[in-house]
Structure 1
């Protein structure tokens, strides 16, 4: 019987053997292959009792030693993680080189070097020179690739164009994999915008062509032929520079384009096909076969919207989704079912392993990744799909040759490859969601299994009333049920931080909604696969149609229910809170002790509660937006707390979309009243974005709304979304939750003056919009207890936004 350790070393070596209180010695021995506690050697040998750390003695002498030893442990664990996951070293270096440019794409290169140098210095001091060299080399690669991606080549079209919007005639090649050129796909809309590669352009018809390169996103005209991948098209229109965000936290379209490798938008006025690819073009033929499968999988469905949702779930063709379905899936936290990712690849992999079960073990694990690659290839290879494919491919290859696998290393490996191919993919929302959620699911796997085992521990000791088979089935059922619930909870928790930052939405009900939806997504995919295999056999194909459409109806119904139940808009957390949140989540999923688990869980609850409290106690503001395609101002009154907003006019897309971002950033989840002063386009062209982007309780519009297509469309959208519609004419007073007094005065030689008073139990506000002619309007805002506000609004093509805080309401 050999003694494993000395009693004085208990704090260093035996913390994993049990919770040993300070000052209590334990002696451990190995007996018959098991570790056994033999008691305290201090009582057996009195010579130890006078030493620090022995029973009844003061061990404060060992505190410096324990601190140093803890630091050594942390160092050893970090080195072990880097050794176990070689791709982590590469990813850490790449992130150090890319992150400064991701935070600020316009940063000077000399300042962007600070983070890589800090990473190298930290690794040298805390770890070892070998890791320092590897991370330093990866940092140089990431820094260089990002610098090249930020600065286009001389042949790139963006280098040849002026720093403004300009008209052009363009010859381009369509490279959007979601295009469907088949006539049988007429139910599917064309992508908006569509990705192209600019081959050559000229400023006017009389100029000479300029050969160029670079990808762009094109907005097609209404009258446009159906395009397919590889088509060469000629377009007349203009290159458009995206407008910068109106305020901090507004959607930055420039960063979105950069993440997709695009510099400018091309808005086409006319488009025609110059040529189509040859019949031996491999990728085109693969996508034609994809279109055939897509049409076969949905051709028996009666509801066109179900066809579009089915195409989005199976092949990622999301351009056909209507605004209502998008909103429901977003607000219910189930929008990820339209992003080809681990869920889809996992379902396909399970079906493939079952289909190829007749193959030998090694061959089966080598064939499955090839088939999955073909599937991912047809979806355009978005980052989440590539991540899932790389992870399952690495796992299959290692399993085929009986190599030990590290799932986290697969995550790091996939992220590194994608960032090497496009460093600005780090800005892509799909990339962030996919890798953060997948990383936390893998990271929490061991603890999840322990939690499941602990929950089912009692059932192992209870006699089974139905025999051994019943016991096995019952245990498997409950184990699968608990695993699914824990997985859904961790996926929601790991994505919560990003949801609050990008969308400002808190949806705890999505845990149950996803738990309910995912089995029906699996059933739908399985039904589609069966249908594609047996579609010549009409009875079986018809049965598959019934199952698939029923599954989609359940999925849509669950998302609609989840969107209307249990979701809140909260204030967007600052960066430091986001970092602390994910540190707490990491500790939570890796916690080995109850105390650590509950402390980290309490920290998460505290941070979310803080966001909710800040939202409930926020100050009131009036936002004035003007400019863009319309010259009529948009006025949004956001009262304190989480009350509904009051909006006057929705004049254009350039002002209505930022308005929704304002609401999301302030935690406002609905518009109490939307007032349209006149039925002309300048007053309501952007109303569809407001009505489909958030809930509008009341729409107030002139009774002669049929005089304009835009106001008529506004009423139709409001009716479809369930808003209460009220009509005004001349001097009007509308009663509801609030009392609205409205008066319009026409003036000769000018437009009209508008006098609005909106009274709620919580506050009262008076607005005056006075037309001064020559494109100038005077806005007056009066509220009791606050300073009256007056400002001039001058017509401009550049959108602008101003905020006025309301001191007392």
Structure 2
């Protein structure tokens, strides 16, 4: 993350502060929060947005800039509330989740595989798990029809499919027929328990399907070879295969989780170890991974082997591809947008403002999924980067402006220069961890009722020298 800070905080502090995207993000978030806790009818949101936009146009032509700005922010807030209402509260009339309950019932349905099957190893037996459980396969499907008696009727909606055993021969984009057990995601049974139903609702998944054996899922029609989802799935599977081929089994599963976000392949004991030590966030694909990737491009650029323009375009393409490859989670979308913005600013010879770029990333994240505003992962990610931008003067490497001071610094013996550079980097990394931990501790305590002090320096990103 400190690499992002260095890229976005080189602007002259004497210049006027202008962050239009930050105002838009605040307005949009206000509308979404209002709809979450004080919902209005969708027509109210739409009419408010349209009327405010029309009023803004009239005021703008009359050059009433200040009042027009407030009216425009009102229009953005109403648009945010309407988008959140549509995403969080409205479904299609043929949504499968409307006809299933928490009671498990058999269901025959057809759908299109959104992701390729992902395998999860069997959990070990212990005192709390006396019934053996085998390997499982998981994939996301978009339902298109369900069977009622002997007739098939149209349906819609996402569903998460779990199959006992290894589901082979299914790829993203394939049309499949399933004979499974269906139910709604369960609500929390105890106070403070993770709300799995709310999490699935934030992904627009209102139905859980379970196949008791791989033969319960059959391929009806192969997907198009031009499907981008299929090519991403193949690329992800190829990466997993390369890791398994060159690394031992136990280490390859950990490498797949760190590099590709395939945490489902980790055994439960290792997951529990990361959870107990408070380092489970290390396994989550986030800005750390994008920062390392961008730092690698920066090192290649420093070697002079490739041109500056080529490296910037290559960084944009590969970072965006990596974001898609890892399921485009909000933290990695945030980091990807910051890196892309920095590259575009460098190509145009302009300086990017930190808060403005971060707010633009937030707007993109909310446009993709407005429920991300209420998820702890998104909140912690954006709060951490905002804190580092705020304290960037402490976290960035000091610049020696006086030529005499530069000459004195360069004339020192190399052991002293190396020692000072190393201790300075260690200090900045440690200070970054302390600042992030201090700022996010209240939010972590509020969300999880716990915090772990021994993870102060576990989630920092490399910064260019």
TM-score (norm 1): 0.46
Which residues in structure 2 correspond to 1:518-557 (within 5 Å)?
none
Label 1:480 to 1:406 Cα distance change in 2 as closer, same or farther (>3 A). same
Equivalent pair of 2:102/2:185 in contact (CA under 8 Å)? no
Equivalent pair of 2:334/2:358 in contact (CA under 8 Å)? yes
Residue in 1 aligned with 2:232? Answer: 286
Residue in 1 aligned with 2:34? Answer: 100
Equivalent pair of 2:100/2:182 in contact (CA under 8 Å)? no
TM-score (norm 2): 0.77
Query: How much does 1:318 deviate?
Result: 0.8
Q: Distance in 1 between matches of 2:267 and 2:100?
A: 36
Equivalent pair of 1:190/1:319 in contact (CA under 8 Å)? no
Q: Distance in 1 between matches of 2:417 and 2:136?
A: 51
Residue in 2 aligned with 1:443? Answer: 390
Query: How much does 1:139 deviate?
Result: 0.7
Q: How many equivalent pairs are there?
A: 405
Q: Please give the secondary structure, in 1, of the residue aligned with 2:382.
A: helix
Label 1:174 to 1:132 Cα distance change in 2 as closer, same or farther (>3 A). same
Equivalent pair of 1:176/1:380 in contact (CA under 8 Å)? no
Residue in 1 aligned with 2:456? Answer: 511
Query: How much does 1:163 deviate?
Result: 5.8
Label 1:162 to 1:476 Cα distance change in 2 as closer, same or farther (>3 A). closer
Q: Does 1:301 align with 2:247?
A: yes
Query: How much does 1:395 deviate?
Result: 1.0
Q: Does 1:372 align with 2:312?
A: no
Query: How much does 1:388 deviate?
Result: 1.0
Q: Distance in 2 between matches of 1:143 and 1:94?
A: 7
Higher RCO (CA-CA < 8 Å; seq separation 6+):
2
Query: How much does 1:369 deviate?
Result: 0.8
Residue in 2 aligned with 1:400? Answer: 347
Q: Does 1:151 align with 2:90?
A: yes
Which residues in structure 2 correspond to 1:18-97 (within 5 Å)?
84-97=18-31
CA displacement 1:106-133 (0-9 Å, x = unmatched): x4549x98xx99xx9xxxxxx9423312
Equivalent pair of 2:297/2:315 in contact (CA under 8 Å)? yes
CA displacement 1:338-373 (0-9 Å, x = unmatched): 222111011111222334543332332232111111
Label 1:273 to 1:430 Cα distance change in 2 as closer, same or farther (>3 A). farther
Q: Distance in 1 between matches of 2:101 and 2:381?
A: 35
Query: How much does 1:98 deviate?
Result: 0.9
Equivalent pair of 1:229/1:284 in contact (CA under 8 Å)? yes
Query: How much does 1:408 deviate?
Result: 1.6
Higher helix fraction: Structure 1 or Structure 2? 2
Equivalent pair of 1:156/1:212 in contact (CA under 8 Å)? yes
Q: Please give the secondary structure, in 1, of the residue aligned with 2:263.
A: coil
2:72 to 125, 134, 138: 134
Q: Does 1:265 align with 2:208?
A: yes
Q: Please give the secondary structure, in 1, of the residue aligned with 2:164.
A: coil
CA displacement 1:708-743 (0-9 Å, x = unmatched): xxxxxxxxxxxxxxxxxxxxxxxxxxxxxxxxxxxx
Q: Does 1:176 align with 2:110?
A: no
Q: Does 1:335 align with 2:274?
A: no
Q: Distance in 2 between matches of 1:308 and 1:441?
A: 32
Query: How much does 1:410 deviate?
Result: 1.5
Q: Which runs of 5+ in 2 are unaligned?
A: 1-15, 53-64, 121-134, 400-404
Query: How much does 1:197 deviate?
Result: 0.9
Q: Please give the secondary structure, in 2, of the residue aligned with 1:195.
A: strand
Residue in 2 aligned with 1:228? Answer: 171
Q: Please give the secondary structure, in 2, of the residue aligned with 1:254.
A: helix
Query: How much does 1:513 deviate?
Result: 5.1
Q: Distance in 2 between matches of 1:332 and 1:501?
A: 19
Query: How much does 1:191 deviate?
Result: 5.3
Residue in 1 aligned with 2:4? Answer: none
Residue in 2 aligned with 1:241? Answer: 184
Query: How much does 1:375 deviate?
Result: 1.6
CA displacement 1:276-335 (0-9 Å, x = unmatched): 324343331233133223321342223x22111100100101101122221222232322
Residue in 2 aligned with 1:483? Answer: 428
1:199 to 132, 136, 144: 144
Query: How much does 1:247 deviate?
Result: 4.5
Q: Does 1:391 align with 2:330?
A: no
Equivalent pair of 1:352/1:368 in contact (CA under 8 Å)? yes
Label 1:196 to 1:400 Cα distance change in 2 as closer, same or farther (>3 A). same
Q: Distance in 1 between matches of 2:112 and 2:226?
A: 17
Higher strand fraction: Structure 1 or Structure 2? 1
Q: Distance in 2 between matches of 1:213 and 1:409?
A: 38
Query: How much does 1:418 deviate?
Result: 1.6
Query: How much does 1:177 deviate?
Result: 6.1
Q: Distance in 1 between matches of 2:315 and 2:428?
A: 25
Residue in 1 aligned with 2:5? Answer: none
Residue in 2 aligned with 1:572? Answer: none
Label 1:333 to 1:495 Cα distance change in 2 as closer, same or farther (>3 A). farther
Of the two, which has the highest radius of gyration?
Answer: 1
